[in-house]
């Protein structure tokens, strides 16, 4: 990561942030949210406008052409998905937990380590033939992305790509996504 000096006028000069620099900002929090789990805290990335912008720029650069819809999953997928959608000139669809959307929805349930989770989108959020990009902060087990892919397919959309900031490859999430017809999965940072 390269940092520019502060200009004499007090205005910050341009900073150049690399993916390695972004990875260095992500902090491990042991035993959160429960013992034995190491949480990857991305808030230091968000606290640095140059780093946050570099992540969004990299996600946009990895997107195939012709994206109509960007889906971002609650909650941290919203953080990256909305600015990616704006940059691509695409609509943004917030994928919410069940019961959080006010109109008719379609839902998909997936397994968690201890229980299940249900995600929902409005029934008119994706149209038949829409080219869809899923954006999230992390690809861990693949459950959230798989459930979102299910929603995209059920509404007639075409899932063309998934882009995440981090992939926990040691959990083998891509295996869970093999049958989802995902053409492209991009992880900016991979933890083996």
State the number of CA atoms in the 13 A half-sphere of 77 facing the CB. Answer: 24
Task: Kindly state the average pLDDT of the residues 49-68.
Answer: 97
Q: Can you read off the two tokens belonging to residue 24?
A: 């260095």
CB 191 within 8 A of CB 167: yes
Whole-number pLDDT of residue 113? 65
Determine the Cα–Cα distance for residues 178 and 63; give it in Å rounded to an integer: 19
**Fold of domain 64-190:** Rossmann fold (3.40.50)
Mean pLDDT computed over 125-136:
98
User: What is the predicted pLDDT for the residue at 144?
Assistant: 94
Residues identified as active-site = 76, 113
Tell me the per-residue pLDDT of 64-96, one tens digit each, with 9 for 90 and over.
Answer: 999 999 999 999 999 999 999 999 999 999 999
Taking only the tens place, the pLDDT of each residue in 168-186 is 999 999 888 876 677 789 9
Summary mean pLDDT of the chain: 90
| Sequence ranges of the domains in the chain | 64-190
Whether 51 and 23 have beta carbons less than 8 Å apart is answered as no
What would the two tokens of residue 135 be? 């954006």
pLDDT digits (tens, 9 = 90+) for 6-19: 334 444 444 567 99
């Amino acid at each position: 990561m390269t940092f520019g000096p502060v200009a004499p006028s007090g205005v910050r000069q341009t900073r150049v942030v690399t993916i390695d620099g972004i990875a260095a900002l992500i902090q491990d929090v042991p035993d959160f949210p429960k013992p034995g789990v190491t949480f990857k805290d991305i808030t230091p990335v968000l606290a640095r406008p140059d780093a946050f912008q570099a992540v969004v720029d990299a996600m946009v650069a990895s997107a195939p052409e012709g994206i109509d819809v960007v889906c971002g999953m609650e909650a941290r997928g919203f953080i990256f998905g909305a600015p990616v959608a704006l940059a691509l000139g695409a609509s943004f669809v917030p994928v919410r937990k069940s019961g959080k959307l006010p109109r008719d929805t379609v839902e998909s349930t997936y397994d968690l380590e201890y229980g299940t989770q249900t995600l929902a989108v409005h029934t008119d959020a994706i149209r038949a033939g829409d080219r869809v990009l899923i954006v999230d902060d992390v690809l861990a087990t693949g459950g959230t992305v798989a459930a979102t892919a299910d929603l995209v397919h059920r509404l007639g959309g075409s899932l063309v790509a998934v882009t995440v900031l981090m992939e926990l490859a040691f959990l083998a999430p891509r295996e869970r996504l093999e049958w989802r017809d995902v053409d492209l999965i991009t992880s900016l940072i991979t933890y083996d």
